[in-house]
Copies of this chain bind each other. A is one copy, B any other.
Amino acid sequence: MKDFPGTPGTFTALTLRVLQFSFAAGSIVCITTTPGFFEYTALCYLIASMGLQVIWSFGIALFDAKALITKKILHNLVLVSLFAIGDWVTGMLSLAAASASAGLLILYFRDLGKCQSDCLKYWMSVTLAFMSWVMIEISSLIMFWLLAAG
């Protein structure tokens, strides 16, 4: 398999995973510190999706860190296939959750003009979720490219 920045076990891959993890964790923190978020299904779905993202990215970051320390190459077909599928699934779920929450926030704060004290926290959470999605999308495209290039 080809070796380029972002492939498993490289410093770029580890950086991407850390960013995914940090943005997703930040999104959860922002939303869970607001009262009443659990009344909205879309926001609960955002927390669930970002929670999955945190677990996935943290797990793969450990793999990458171990590979970097032991200088082991992680270009195994089974492993890359697993990473590609996992990244694709979590990426789609993150984008869907961030978009659903953004749709809800636009309705509340723009269409209906009900911007309460916590609206900044809600927007911060959705922005972080989108940033986490951008990072997972980059990882996902790299994995898929690596898999297809063989």
Contacts and interface: CB of A to CB of B under 8 A. Distances in A.
A55 interface: no
A101 B106 CA distance: 11
A67 to B, nearest CB: 22
Interface string A107-150: 10011000000000000000000000000000001001101111
How many of these chains are in the complex?
2
A107 B108 CA distance: 10
A139 to B, nearest CB: 14
Contact of A41 (B92, B97, B100, B111): B111
A36 to B, nearest CB: 11
Query: How large, as a class, is the contact surface on chain A?
Result: 20 to 34
A14 interface: no
A104 interface: yes
A102 interface: yes
A54 to B, nearest CB: 20
A39 B148 contact: no
A22 B11 CA distance: 44
B41 A106 contact: yes
Given A102-B103, A103-B100, A148-B144, A40 B111 contact: yes
